[in-house]
Amino acid sequence: MAEDTPVKELSTYSKDTPVGHPNFGGRAGVFVPTEAFDLGASTTIRKGAGIVGFGNPDGSLTVYFEANRFDETSLHKWENKIRKAYDRLIALAPTVSKAKMDARTLELIGYIDGVGITLRHPERLTHWLTISNALDTAPESAVITFGRK
């Protein structure tokens, strides 16, 4: 690569990113922060948070997140945080746990819908939970179904 060639920053927004607000039971993306996300300076997304959302026509992401700020026991597990954020997103619930973000700061690792969560890159979730000192909240498998077992 020539030294005068500018480096182009890559976006994680792709053809696989769900676009537009999903309907009740519809599919949304599951995200984790990338190295471009400044976790130390963030006043929104906290370590170990569950992050769900969708792509916007302008290439940004709208995300809802849950970090269990008040240490509610029912939200200890990561999949419960994801489900809580998803329920807020679907209901368009008023919340401060919502943001429009540059797609370079988040990576799509899977999907959530009314049936469950499917992780396509569980190793990225493991990394996120490890650097968050929250590996004990990790799901047992890459596919989590809601409802009866």
pLDDT digits (tens, 9 = 90+) for 94-144: 999 999 999 989 999 999 999 999 999 999 999 999 999 999 999 999 999
Using alpha carbons, select from 73, 72, 75 the residue that is nearest to residue 87.
75
Residue 40 DSSP label? G
Q: Are 58 and 126 in contact (CB under 8 A)?
A: no
Q: How far is CA 14 from CA 4, 22, 25, 72, 104, in A?
A: 28, 17, 22, 34, 11
- Which pLDDT score is estimated for 17? 86
* Cα separation, 71 vs 137, whole angstroms: 13
Distance CA 72, CA 147 (A): 21
pLDDT for the residue numbered 2: 46
What is the distance between the alpha carbons of residues 48 and 60, in angstroms, rounded to a whole number? 22
Residue 149 has pLDDT above 70, yes or no: no
Q: What does the mean pLDDT of the chain come to?
A: 86
CB–CB of 108/17 below 8 Å?
Answer: yes
Average of pLDDT values for 40-68? 88
Q: How far apart are the first and last CA of the chain?
A: 53
Average pLDDT (69-90) is 92
* pLDDT-based confidence at residue 8 (cuts at 50, 70, 90): very low
Helix (H) or strand (E) holding 65: strand 61-66
